[in-house]
Amino acid sequence: ARMKKTLATAGGREKLAKKYPGRQVATLFYQPSTRTRLSFETAALKLGMGVVGTEAAMAFSSAAKGETIEDTVRVLNQYQLDAIVIRYHEVGGAKRAAAVSSVPIINAGDGPGEHPTQSLLDAYTIKASHGRLSGLKVVMGGDLKFSRTVRSLCYVLSKYKDNHIVFVSIPDFQIPKDVTDNLKRTDTSFELTTDMSKAFADADVVYWTRLQKEYLKDAKQLPKGGLVIDKQSLKLMPKHTIIMHPLPRVDEITTDVDSDHRAKYFEQAGNGLYIRMALFDRIMNGRT
């Protein structure tokens, strides 16, 4: 909230732009990204930092020649960087990088595993709309099996009391057992269903995801016409519901939903800038 407020004025923007001159971060992305990469890079630039990196490391870095992420990070450590932002195509990539790095590693998504900074901006979006992160009914739907954003948000919500999470999907794409095991350990209430209309009743948050085709090894698809939020779906939701999506959207939320006051996914994406600026601010001040 502080970063957002400061950026709202010309004087604030000028002050932030002079905050960390001479500091530099690298963005190393092994998977395609628009919002995450650009928001991290914009966040660094707005704080007066320099940015170097690659947006397609699998094709345009030495990874294409077989170099491991460990060796890539060891080399980057020689360049006197202040932090490295990594998106990796397999679970555990950021952890592997951190094990050999002398500078902070920021996990910008590791395959179908985790997406910690997305969960922070998601939590911020929910708090900004509802004023709390506890006592919420949160409906999560779509491809839950491969969604790292759902996994990370569930972890955050499990830290707060009296939340109830409803997972809406078909069996082949339902939430993985390790996620529900964590919810059980933290006494977080949850249920699994295929019934969207039942799930949407009394929902405070509806968090929808696309089919993660990049992780599918066959032609299996979500059913046509199912698990899609459209104008008719809006009639099933309370007026106070907020609709979220980590983006990119394909066809799981129709464009005629965008104008509804409950649609928060573009605002949600914008919040990524403020969250990532705040994260860089903490790192540069040694408060990790």
Name which of 226, 243, 225 is nearest 234 in CA terms: 243
CA max distance for the chain: 56
List C-alpha distances in Å: 61 to 53, 64, 81, 171: 10, 6, 18, 38
Tell me how far apart the alpha carbons of residues 73 and 75 are, in angstroms, rounded to a whole number.
Answer: 5
Residue 87 known to be catalytic: yes
Tell me how far apart the alpha carbons of residues 155 and 134 are, in angstroms, rounded to a whole number.
Answer: 13
Residue 240 known to be catalytic: no
Residue 194 known to be catalytic: no
Catalytic: which of 87, 96, 249, 276? 87
**Residue type (1 letter), 186:** T
| 3-state secondary structure string across 183-210 | HHHCCCEEEEECCHHHHHCCCCEEEECC
Tell me how far apart the alpha carbons of residues 67 and 182 are, in angstroms, rounded to a whole number.
Answer: 35
Catalytic: which of 37, 96, 115, 245? 115
Tell me how far apart the alpha carbons of residues 46 and 50 are, in angstroms, rounded to a whole number.
Answer: 10
Phi, psi of 11 (to 5 degrees): -65, -40
Catalytic: which of 18, 65, 235, 239? 65
Q: Which two tokens stand for residue 287?
A: 């408060």
Catalytic: which of 4, 23, 35, 130? 35
Residue 115 known to be catalytic: yes
Q: Which residues are catalytic?
A: 35-36, 65, 87, 115
